[in-house]
Amino acid sequence: MKLTVFERLKLQNLLPAEGSFVTLKLIRKLREALSFSEKEIADIEFKNHWKCAACDTTEISAQTPKCSSCGNYMQPAGMVNWDEAKAIKVIKDVHFGEAMFALIQSTLKKLSDENKLTEQIISLYEKFVETEDEDEEVK
């Protein structure tokens, strides 16, 4: 399945942090498949948001920066930026086994059933759930 940079990031956030041993092994492999190579990171110009634990200064940088205020190394703040114009060209074809496809599909259906589906992940819903619905209509 062809996925954009944004879809790859969002899909990683949807994967469960807990499960059986077998499920967690499969999730680990899937996370690796969804991850970004060094070339992709450079091509897309990924930049992390950083925060200084000592003085709360924030910065955006590709590398771990030292705080401009106090000189301490900064910690990741959990957000990432990239060059959208360059990211549009980066599409990755990711293979999903049956078990992982079903896990993602059920997670997305559950979010929809609970009215917790967001516009940010609607393209993933269309790719994983809508395609199944279309297949059933053809049968």
| Domain map (residue ranges) of the chain | 2-39+85-138, 47-81
Between residues 8 and 136, which one has the greater pLDDT? Answer: 8
d(CA 53, CA 59): 12
Instruction: Read off the pLDDT of residues 24-73 as tens digits, 9 standing for 90 and up.
Output: 999 999 999 999 999 999 999 999 999 999 999 999 988 889 999 999 99
Kind of pairing between the strands at 47-51 and 75-81: antiparallel
| Local confidence band at 131 (pLDDT 50, 70, 90 cut-offs) | confident
The amino acid that residue 83 corresponds to is D
| pLDDT, position 138 | 41
Angle formed by the axes of helices 98-113 and 5-14, to 10°? Answer: 80
| pLDDT, position 85 | 94
Side-chain-side CA neighbours of 1 within 13 Å: the count stands at 23
Q: In this structure, what token pair is assigned to residue 132?
A: 């199944």
